[in-house]
Amino acid sequence: MDRNQTIGIVLISLMLVAYMFLVDSTPTTPANKNNTTETKKEIPSTAEEFPHETVLKVGNDTASALLQQKFGVFAYGVKGESQEVVLENKDIKVVFNTLGGSIKQVLLKNYLTHSQEPLILIDEKSSDLTLDVETVKGNVNLRDFYYQAHKIDDQTISFRIQVNEEHYIEQKYTLGKEGFIINYGLNFKGLEEEIKSKHVLLEWTSKLKPFEKNIEQSRVVATVNFFNQTEGLDYLNETSNDPQEIKAEYEVSWVAFKQKFFTSAILNQNTFSNVLVRSKIDPFEPEVEKMLYTSLHIPVKDLQNNAIRFYFGPNDYDITKTVGEGFEKNVYLGWAIFSVVNKYVIMPLFQFLESMTNNYGMVIFLLVLIIKIALFPLVYNSFKSMAKTKILQPELNKIKEQFPDDATKVQQEQMKLYSLAGVNPLSGCIPFLLQMPILLAMFNFFPNIIQLRQKSFLWAEDLSTYDSIITFGFQIPFYGDHVSLFTILMTISTILYTYYMSQMQAAQNPQMQMLSYAMPVVFMFVLNSFSAGLTYYYFVSNFITIGQQAFIKRFVDENAIRKMMDDNKIKNANKPKSSFQTRIEEAMKEKNKKKE
């Protein structure tokens, strides 16, 4: 409590004492939960503050003249009883409080925390939401008053401060028979003249509760997202350890407090204005993932028209895309082309396989198998290209020996040889590059899909996080405090694949060969704390690829390829240079001129 609040309370107390003696009234006592007044502000301000006045609740039997002078029509809500009221459906249970007519707790029925406890997404300790209204008597916070609860039906509840039969302040919540959306409306029935502002200020602070195995992995994806139909998605930097803040320069359709697999959000069928968002990591609260904050202006007309909705639910792509425009962006599926691959190729295929079996290890195996079969023509062409290069390797080496000190001449003669033999030196790389979008799309897909959450396979208890077979009890720099077996198996399989491919290819530069073996070890460190589903996918993919290469080898006749290339040399002996070859040679000449 600051100095101004203390002085204010002392003055009000003196006025109450004087009022008692003058009108022979009954003494009054504070009626809030702790018999004190306090102002909550979890995230320190680094931008301009909106006006907010803490309400002193006084427990009179009727709204006295003094209270009406102070609070106007809200004086009828200074006294009451704090009671809980529940709305629920098959997916969600919402507990409301008559103090503030507010959401006190949200339980997601079909999900558990990592420790197998009920998943309470928000509660009164982790979430603080205020609604400030500018009235003719000053600013008041709707959450500081008591309301009478009226359950209209199983899905709708109304909280009222009744002035008389025709005049009241009402907050109304409606929960569908299924799903995670709560519709919200606010009405000042017959009291419009008491409200000065055309908007209500909402301030929402959330201390994100940890629900997953690895709080650090969850922390680096927790953020505030907000969306505008024209500007698209904007967000705070989730990976930064420093406090973040953005004041939107445009109106916003929704603001979401996003965690790894769950989101709490407020949406408007129209738009919010003056949107400010913040995030920070509090070193004094290590059990809190992140502290998130937003303040925004809600038009009163949108509140009266029930245009406001809350979402408390999972980051499930199929669910979020039905919530509102752009809301599915809370499920991160990668950047640019990787997102497209995941949305339109991987996700539908995954969902099809998921409908066939609830064994997610088998789903991933079949996913790999189908993708590998689809990409088989590319693998086959790549193998043939490597075989051609291997056959030409002795002649390529002779060219290097003939011109040991003239790199330009070596390149020109090698290009000439490729042209005569009818070999495109890039043809071995192109199939690999075409496969890269799918390979990298998986890097964003498996760690972010909620379908793998708490799904076990073999020794992995949860495919959405790492599979730990050994825990050290201390941190190894760049590695972690555990050993992930699927990551180890992925590393071994990648090294075996590298060795196998080196036997299939022409002689490599020793430095490049060393790099080929070093990369799997690097990725062992990088992926040790990643999703077991991801490392299992790469592990299976490596062995299927080795199997494909072995299968292709049995049907690729190197003698037939050699004969074809010899025939091409005779056929192309007098053939003029192609435009591509000419451009390559000119580029190499220009490069050498610059060196000189």
Helix (H), strand (E), coil (C) string for 235-252: ECCCCCCCCEEEECCCCE
Element (H, E) at 582: helix 579-595
| pLDDT value of residue 590 | 65
Tell me if 80 sits within 8 A of 122, measured CB to CB. no
CB atoms inside a 10 Å sphere around CB 252: 23
What region, left, alpha or beta, does residue 361 occupy, with left being phi > 0 and alpha being psi -120 to 50 degrees? alpha
Tell me if 587 sits within 8 A of 411, measured CB to CB. no
| Alpha-helical segments (H) within 193-332 | 215-219, 300-304, 317-320
- What average pLDDT does the segment 146-174 reach? 91
Tell me the pLDDT band of 84, cut-offs 50, 70 and 90: very high
Instruction: Give the full edge-to-edge strand order of the sheet including 102-112.
Output: 84-88, 92-97, 102-112, 118-122
| pLDDT value of residue 363 | 96
| pLDDT value of residue 443 | 87
Closest among 86, 88, 173, 190 to 129, alpha carbons compared: 173
Lowest mean pLDDT among 2-11, 58-67, 131-140: 2-11
**Domain spans in the chain, listed from the N-terminal domain onward:** 51-197, 201-332, 338-571
Closest among 459, 448, 386, 411 to 584, alpha carbons compared: 411
| Coarse DSSP helix, strand, coil percentages of the chain, rounded to the nearest 5 percent | 40, 25, 30
| pLDDT value of residue 583 | 66
- How far apart are the C-alpha atoms of 344 and 353, rounded to whole Å? 15
Closest among 135, 179, 189 to 159, alpha carbons compared: 189
pLDDT tens profile 385-406:
777 777 777 777 787 777 777 7
Q: Three-state secondary structure along 7-54?
A: HHHHHHHHHHHHHHHHHCCCCCCECCCCCCCCCCCCCCCCCCCCCCCC
pLDDT tens profile 556-571:
777 777 777 777 677 7
Lowest mean pLDDT among 136-140, 276-280, 293-297, 308-312: 136-140
Tell me if 422 sits within 8 A of 572, measured CB to CB. yes
| pLDDT value of residue 341 | 92
Q: What is the average pLDDT score of the chain? A: 82
Closest among 246, 292, 242 to 126, alpha carbons compared: 292
Tell me the pLDDT band of 507, cut-offs 50, 70 and 90: low
- What average pLDDT does the segment 440-448 reach? 90
- How far apart are the C-alpha atoms of 394 and 507, rounded to whole Å? 10
Question: Tell me, what DSSP letter sits at residue 448?
Answer: G
Residue 545 has pLDDT above 80, yes or no: yes
Residue 541 has pLDDT above 60, yes or no: yes
Q: Report the range out of 435-439, 465-469, 507-511 with the highest average pLDDT.
A: 465-469
| Alpha-helical segments (H) within 102-239 | 215-219
Read off the amino acid at residue 549: Q
Contacts with 143 (C-beta within 8 Å, 6 or more apart), sequence order: 99, 100, 101, 102, 129, 130, 131
- What average pLDDT does the segment 254-259 reach? 97
Q: Three-state secondary structure along 365-430?
A: HHHHHHHHHHCHHHHHHHHHHHHHHHHHHHHHHHHHHHCCCCHHHHHHHHHHHHHHHCCCCCCCHH
pLDDT tens profile 361-388:
999 999 999 999 998 888 887 777 777 7
Phi, psi (degrees; rounded to nearest 5) at 370: -65, -45
Tell me if 149 sits within 8 A of 85, measured CB to CB. yes
- How far apart are the C-alpha atoms of 459 and 467, rounded to whole Å? 7
- Retrieve residue 253's tokens: 């359709």
Where are the strands (E) in 478-551, listed by range? 480-484
- What average pLDDT does the segment 125-153 reach? 91
Q: Tokens 């490599």 map to which residue?
A: 508
Lowest mean pLDDT among 59-68, 383-392, 440-449, 520-529: 59-68
Q: Three-state secondary structure along 68-127?
A: HHHHHHHHHHCCCCCCEEEEECCCEEEEEECECCEEEEEEEEEEECCCCCEEEEECCCCE
| pLDDT value of residue 592 | 60
Residue 585 has pLDDT above 80, yes or no: no
pLDDT tens profile 1-50:
444 444 444 444 445 444 443 443 333 333 333 333 333 344 434 333 33
Q: Report the range out of 184-198, 292-306, 381-395 with the highest average pLDDT.
A: 292-306
Read off the amino acid at residue 563: K
